[in-house]
Structures are given as C-alpha cells and as structure tokens.
Amino acid sequence: MRQRDLLNPVLASIAAMVAALVLNVGAASAGCGSDVTGLEALPLEAPAVASDAVDAAPEVIPSVSVPQPGDVLITGGIGKAGLAIGSTQLYSASTGTFVNTPAMGAARAAHQALIFPAQHEVLIVGGFKGKAKIKGSSMALKITTLATGRIYHTDKGTFGLLKSKMLSAKSDDDRAFFPALTLQSGLGFLPSGLCNGDIRPTAFDFDSGLSTFQLLSNRVVTARAFHTATLLGNGKVLIAGGITTLGGNTTNTAEIFDPSIGSFTATGNMIDSRAGHTATLLPSGKVLIAGGVTSSASTVSSSTFTSLNTAEIFDPTANAGVGAFSAAPNMTAFRWQHTATALGDGTVLIAGGFNGVATWTLAAVGKDSGDAGSWTPTAGSIEDTAEIYDPVANTFTPTTVPMNVARFAHSATLLTTGPSAGDVLIVGGFGGVNLGTPLNSTELFTPASGGSFTAGPTLKAPRAWHTATLIQ
C-alpha cells in the first residue's frame, strides 16, 4: 500500500525530553565522547591495541547455511520493537529465498559491513545499540554507539569474535552513521561518524589479514556523520557532506583521502549542503551526488531537515586535479535516506526515501549514557517512487511503475548470479502505516522495459538501518 498523503503538519514530539539534555562534547561518554585533542598520534599503519573486553560472545547454532558467491548477507538493524537487533539472514541467489543464519551475538544498527574475499570474511563493525522507536508521530532515539565488530566467515557461515576494536587515546572510538569501503590496497577504510556525545574526527583502516583496526595518524578535515565515502578510479577516496554537530548542522564541504600518504585534503565544496544523500561512482570516473537533507534553524542540539531533489556531479580531474562539483538535473522526487544502485548498463537506480520536512534533535545524555533525541516529520511522506539516472544523457527518468512498498533507510543490492542476476534486491527499511515502522518486505527491481518491481521473499525479522553484503 502506498503512502502518498501528507503528514499532519503538527505532530507529536519529544522536545521536552531533549530540552532537558545537555550536550557534553568535552565529557568522556562511553569512550569516544572524550576530548579528542588527547588522541595519540599513531603512524598510518600502527595497529590499535587489541582487547578482550568486547560485547557478548556470538550465539552458537549447530546447523548453518554456507553462503555461495552472489548470495546476500543481511545483518542487524532496527527491528519490529524499535530496538537494535543482532539477527541475520542470508538471501540465496540461486533459489530466491532467505535462509536462517547464526545471530551476530551483539545487537547493532546504522553499522557497516565490508567483505574481504581473499580471507573469506565479512567485517561487521560499529553502529549503535538502543532504540529508534515510534512514539505517536515521532521517532524517539536513545542510542549508544559501538567500537566493536564481528567477523562472518563466508566459508563456514558462522560468526566469530573480533578482539581488536576501534581505539584512540586508549579509549573506545565508537561510531555510527558512517561510511566504509575497501581501498585498492585491500584495507578497509572507516572515516568519521556519530559518537556518544560528538562527531568523530578520526579514521581507521582495518587489516583483515591481521584482524586489527589501525588508527590513522591524520584526522579528517571536517568531522561528520551521515556522510558518504566513494572510492575513485585513482585509488583516492571522496568524502562528502554530512552533519557536523549532533544537532544536525549539515555541510557542503568535501575532502579527498589519499591512502598512499594517509592525508586528508579539502576539495571544492558541493553546491548544496546535504546529509543522508547518496554518492555513486559512474563509468566515467565521476561521482553522482543525489538528494539528502539540508538543515536550517540549527542549534547545538536541533535542526530542521528539508529533503532535497537536487543532484550534482563530482569530477576528480577538474580544477587542475583538485576536483570540483557541478550541477546535475534535479531528481523527479525529493529524497532522504534513499538508495542509489549502479546497474550493469552504467545507469543508476534511485529508490525510495523520505520527501518532506522534519525536526531532528540529538544531544548527549551524559557520561557513558549515549545520545538521545528524536526525528519528527512535520510535512511529507515516505516515497514509493523510483527513477533512473542516465549519465550519458544526464537525465533522471521515473521508472514505469513505483515500488510495491514505500520505504526509506532500506538496502539495495545488485544481484550478480542466479535466475535474477542483473536485478536489484531491495530489503526492509522504515515504512508501514505508522511512519518509521521497520518492514519485513522485500522486492526485486528488473531493469528491462522501463523497469518493474516484483515482490520478493519475506524477512523473518523486520529491519531498517541494516547492512546488505554481496558475497564474493
């Protein structure tokens, strides 16, 4: 069922609760809220100190399904009760069904997952435990971010402990709502993110061969969360946009990470300030930046988020190799927390998202207590629409039909094997009758003839802000 109606312009909020909170950036809260000026300047590849003080051991299940190349591992997220969950499921590309897998052993949402095929491992890292729960017409947030990770063994179909965790100044350097990617060197790269009490200025490598996180000696130019990180053809990484305060102040800044020397360097600013957008590498080597939200009336603990329909192109060769952004046509819909999936023909599928205006509040509760706040829509709806960006024609075109279900904060994965190879598997997200209810539905997008959406198998556990990893 589509959700096209505007929300009531005056919705319930939990502003009274948030107003009582005190933003305590300088206080030590669960490790990463501590004063970052005390960070140890470790060399580029110095391993973080390993620790046995990680969260609970993973659940042991005798019978497991071993994934095959082309399958998709779904982990964690916000579940039916509005709480972070530790359950996982595996999508079998050959049968088009979900099979059960062991639990991760630690609930987490807004985390990241990176695959390392040579080591037969998937790193599940960071995120938060806690809640993102609907109260009236507001999503109440009470979260504690994580510095720990788990390893999923793709050759066994099981999860294992990871003793190393993200550390700086001998303290947990936890984070959520951050991007992660694999560098050309094979190392994982995890820059910045939202923490308990602040936004992190640090970045880590992850060495799968050594199973260690490595704190980079250089910090990002701008600490940010809800940002993007895109691996460019030259091996460098474009980091763009995001929020720079817990209260949601969005930025138009961007920077380039050069792994060869471990440096972060500012590049040209984006045309629009945005967070929760998408960034997709195009066949030309340029990057499509699309949608997100821009903030106004920002304070230290709150902002008004307005969804964007604008898009722009980053050209890494422009401006004498420094890189520059230029305007692209507007999308056909306003979108925040949507997905952008590069298709086999070089086009990009843009799907779902939230299209309206909302109030965002977030502040530190206190030492070791995480962050609390709310997301309260005041106008708009969840999108069931989708569109295709054609980089050759430089156009956005709506798909022939919309999605079966309106959703945002979902996942979208291009399938590479099986009967549905070339299709996009869309999983979960927030939606439903009550704005922000996690979904257990999935669907498949088939690009042929203008594109079509067909219902996929049902998830055992509804989820949003989860991860979906293509097994290689």
- With beta carbons less than 8 A apart as the criterion, state whether 251 and 241 touch: yes
The secondary structure of residue 347, as a DSSP letter, is -
Give 408-458 pLDDT, tens digit per residue.
999 999 999 999 999 999 999 999 766 779 999 999 999 988 899 999 999
Mean pLDDT, to the nearest integer, of 137-164?
Answer: 96
Classify each residue of 224-240 as buried b or exposed e, where b means 16 or more C-beta atoms within 10 Å of its C-beta. Answer: bbbbbbbbbeeebbbbb
- Compute the distance between CA of residue 241 and CA of residue 257 in angstroms, rounded to an integer: 14
What pLDDT is stored for residue 137 in this prediction? Answer: 84
The DSSP secondary structure of 1-44, one letter per residue, reads ----SPPPSS----HHHHHT----TTS--TTTTS-GGG-----T
- Compute the distance between CA of residue 64 and CA of residue 47 in angstroms, rounded to an integer: 32
Residue found under tokens 């990241």: 112
Considering only CA atoms, which of 256, 395, 246, 250 is closest in space to residue 315?
256
pLDDT at 58 over 60: no
Considering only CA atoms, which of 188, 197, 80, 59 is closest in space to residue 128?
197
Please give the C-alpha separations between residue 5 and each of 99, 321, 331, 383, in angstroms, as whole numbers. Answer: 36, 46, 20, 10
For residues 56 and 282, the model is more confident at 282
- With beta carbons less than 8 A apart as the criterion, state whether 290 and 282 touch: no
Q: Which domains does the chain have, with CATH numbers?
A: 15-38+55-470 (2.120.10.80)
Considering only CA atoms, which of 72, 78, 75 is closest in space to residue 90?
72
The secondary structure of residue 36, as a DSSP letter, is G
Q: In sequence order, what are the beta bridge partners of 252? A: none
- With beta carbons less than 8 A apart as the criterion, state whether 114 and 122 touch: yes
What pLDDT is stored for residue 157 in this prediction? Answer: 96
Neighbours of 166 (CB within 10 A): 28
Considering only CA atoms, which of 315, 317, 417, 295 is closest in space to residue 362?
295
Residue count of the chain, please give it: 472
For residues 368 and 319, the model is more confident at 319
**Token couple for 76:** 């964690």
pLDDT at 53 over 90: no
- Compute the distance between CA of residue 206 and CA of residue 210 in angstroms, rounded to an integer: 9
- Residues 6 or more apart whose Cβ sits within 8 Å of residue 284: 391
pTM of the model: 0.88
What pLDDT is stored for residue 41 in this prediction? Answer: 35
Neighbours of 20 (CB within 10 A): 10
Q: Is 17 helix (H, G, I), strand (E, B) or coil?
A: helix
